[in-house]
Amino acid sequence: MRLTTVGFIFFLIAPLGVQAVSINERAGNHFRTAANNQEFTLNKGNVNAGQFGLLRVHDFDAKVETQPLVVENGAGGGDDLVIITTMRNKVIGVNARTNARVYEEKLGPEIDWGNGAQDMDMWGHTPTWGISATPIIDPSTDTLFVAAWVQKHTGDNRYRDYKVFALNPKTGKQKASPVRIFGQSQEGNGCWFNDADAVFKNGKGENEQYAYPKLRAGLALTGNHGLVLAFAANGEEFKGGRKNPHGFVVAYDTRGLLKQNGFSRDPGMFCATAFDSWGGGIWQAGGAPATEGDMIYVASSNGSSANKGDSKGDVDLTESMIKLCFTPSSGGSRPVLTKEDFYKAFLDERKSGAPCLWSDNTSEVSCGRAVPASNGKTLAATDWDFGASGPMLFPGSDLLLQGTKDGIIYSLDKSNLGQHDRFNQLMSKPPLVASYFGGDLNQNWDRANHLNRSIPCPSLNDVDAGTFSWFQPCGDVENNKMHHIHALALAQRDPSGGTVFVWGENAKLKAYDFSTKRGDFPKFLAEADELASKDQKSPGGMPGGLLMVSGKPSTLPGNPHGIDPGTAILWAVYPMKGDSNKHFAEGQLVAYDATTILPGNKLKRLYRTGDGNNGGLGTMTRMVPPVVANGRVYVMIYRLDQKGNVIGSQLKVFGL
């Protein structure tokens, strides 16, 4: 097993005396634990209102939907470099100490939704689309890889291309010419990515593209030169007489992107569904695919599906965890993505009516989520999104965790995902209903079993009338509040276990003790006091808490990813009021002692912006977590005008 990807390199080779770190990718490392165990400045003693607070701000002229990256000493003179990418296709380097711009590079004309591209943003508050996925730095070649959405012809929003750029992270300059993402999937199901050259005639005689995949998940690197991009569907409907679009995984050989001789610049390409199916988008709330060696893990979302034994039973991998293997370019050949394993979480393919009960439902994780309409078609009744967060690998074990829109954390075995066996292959079963209840373990398991038979069950009359709610459960699931999970974080104790943090929508921050041993139940530890989006009815109040853990490295031998419990801090940005998806939300930054539990199973708060009535942070971004590195905490917020329109973003830098 190759273990040489970004972030992991640092933690293996850095001696404990080194007191600086780079944050090269989404969630800190390729395991996606959202943890930095090389933080030597901030600790439980100095993160308080008297010593810690806002240091400076930096304004940007466009929406920022990506996580900041930090290059230790990247600005020179001992100063860190913060890299920000914007929806105007700008890559901007900022000196973390002086706040000066080190560089600003524009990668191409962005897409303007106000000029013929309204299909990009259903809520209407993202005026431009450009760089929408967190880039990644490959320290082995000192290369920043960025994917930008650009106009194919300047000034014409009808045609759009994704391009991959290889940049010098310290200057923003291109190291090689960009590559346009284009091609056909390799598993023989007929999917084409970004078929800008396959056009049809509409009523006005103009040429149009069929569909536009949308890149939201962060970029990832494998241990064998693979650059991984995972795409979501954008507008799940018929376009051009075809069911479009599909979820894609696209992977390049980084040596080809850098134009090294003998390596292809074409990508390996995997499509999550068959050509005549739809959906399976991979968005993961902005979270990047998890990688380990040559293996890639992605979580897909809603769409068409099929039962085991059907012709598409192993092809339409919607609502699934998918494990892929990356084979790099060799002798100039195109790299290859091979499906190794999968886990299908839900029963979209089942045609069930109210009350979602059938005789063999006792061993399934969920009831049927597809609803047959009277016209003979089968409709996807829910937007449940198994892939509502990014996968998280537990270092040194087989445990793979996934948070979903139904408030459940699934504990999967990365070496045997289970495929159609939705229940028996889980590492702990039933799965943990993490964002509903707190301390009573039996109550959590009872709730999980109840969910098997309860959600969602719109009547056929509601379906035909078009009045059903995607989130209307049959039973009373905590007052019909569905607590979506969009982020997880891990404070690893050792390879046998650690504390997993989760903060669901309309819920409180919770901490669970997870064991990596098969059959061991997670144990509730504690929760915080703050309620995310306390003024919102469910569904609503996205995204819950976005998380990161910081602390010094563990002192236990042979535990390179562990965090010293005496220094571990849990950081979170959450919407105190409002919904940061459809609308805008007042945000708050909080810091908690990650390991001290107060009486009543409460977490100990160290710091928060504002107070119980005022968030004190500003208008939080939709899915950008805080970043902690070298004594500073970096938080992105939106900038709005007096009419509530987005005019840009702002980087807030906190520290001592």
Angle at CA 351, nearest 5°, toward 345 and 357? 80
Mean pLDDT of all residues in 583-588: 94
Residue 493 has what pLDDT? Answer: 96
Lowest-pLDDT choice from 170-179, 254-263, 302-311: 302-311
Lowest-pLDDT choice from 11-25, 458-472, 474-488, 613-627: 458-472
Residue 352 has what pLDDT? Answer: 39
Tens of pLDDT, residue by residue over 7-31, are 333 333 333 445 899 999 999 999 9
CA dist., res. 217 & res. 219, Å (int): 7
Give 518 or 370, the one with higher predicted confidence: 518
b/e for 442-460, b at 16 or more Cβ within 10 A?
A: eebbebbebbbbbbbbbee
User: pLDDT confidence of 241, banded at 50, 70, 90?
Assistant: very low
Q: How many residues does the chain have?
A: 656
Residue 295 scores a pLDDT above 60: yes
Residue 474 has what pLDDT? Answer: 40
Give 215 or 194, the one with higher predicted confidence: 215
Q: Which residue has the tokens 């943890």?
A: 35
Mean pLDDT of all residues in 359-373: 41
Residue 274 has what pLDDT? Answer: 83
CA dist., res. 93 & res. 169, Å (int): 8
What percent of the chain clears pLDDT 90, i.e. is strictly above it?
59
Taking the CA atoms of residue 544, residue 546, residue 552 and residue 554 in that order, the dihedral angle to the nearest 10 degrees is 60
Q: Where are the domains of the chain?
A: 182-338
Residue 310 has what pLDDT? Answer: 75
Residue 31 has what pLDDT? Answer: 98
Mean pLDDT of all residues in 587-604: 96
Residue 353 has what pLDDT? Answer: 39
pTM over 0.85: yes
Lowest-pLDDT choice from 105-109, 247-251, 434-438: 434-438
CA dist., res. 562 & res. 556, Å (int): 8
CA dist., res. 363 & res. 565, Å (int): 38
Residue 225 scores a pLDDT above 50: yes
Residue 261 has what pLDDT? Answer: 96
Residue 127 has what pLDDT? Answer: 83
Q: Which amino acid is at 356?
A: C
Q: What is the DSSP letter of 10?
A: H
Residue 383 has what pLDDT? Answer: 63
Residue 376 scores a pLDDT above 80: no
CA distances in angstroms from 576 to 76, 540, 624, listed in the order given: 38, 13, 15
Strand pairing category for 632-640 and 627-629 = antiparallel
User: pLDDT confidence of 209, banded at 50, 70, 90?
Assistant: low
Lowest-pLDDT choice from 32-36, 408-412, 500-504: 408-412
CA dist., res. 227 & res. 358, Å (int): 44
Lowest-pLDDT choice from 150-154, 308-312, 479-483: 479-483
Residue 72 has what pLDDT? Answer: 97
Residue 444 scores a pLDDT above 60: no
Tens of pLDDT, residue by residue over 98-142, are 999 999 999 999 988 765 445 566 677 888 889 999 999 999 999
CA dist., res. 585 & res. 445, Å (int): 33
Assigned token pair, 274: 């068959």
Mean pLDDT of all residues in 44-51: 97
CA dist., res. 167 & res. 151, Å (int): 20
Lowest-pLDDT choice from 293-297, 369-373, 381-385: 369-373
CA dist., res. 645 & res. 643, Å (int): 6
Tens of pLDDT, residue by residue over 534-549, are 888 766 788 999 999 9
User: pLDDT confidence of 425, banded at 50, 70, 90?
Assistant: confident
Average pLDDT score over the chain:
83
Assigned token pair, 156: 């014409």
Assigned token pair, 328: 């790099």
CA dist., res. 199 & res. 220, Å (int): 31
CA 442 to chain centre: 30
What percent of the chain clears pLDDT 70, i.e. is strictly above it?
77
Nearest-CA neighbor of 301 among 271, 315, 281? 281
- DSSP E strands in 202-308: the ranges are 207-208, 214-215, 220-221, 226-232, 237-239, 242-244, 248-253, 268-271, 290-292, 295-299
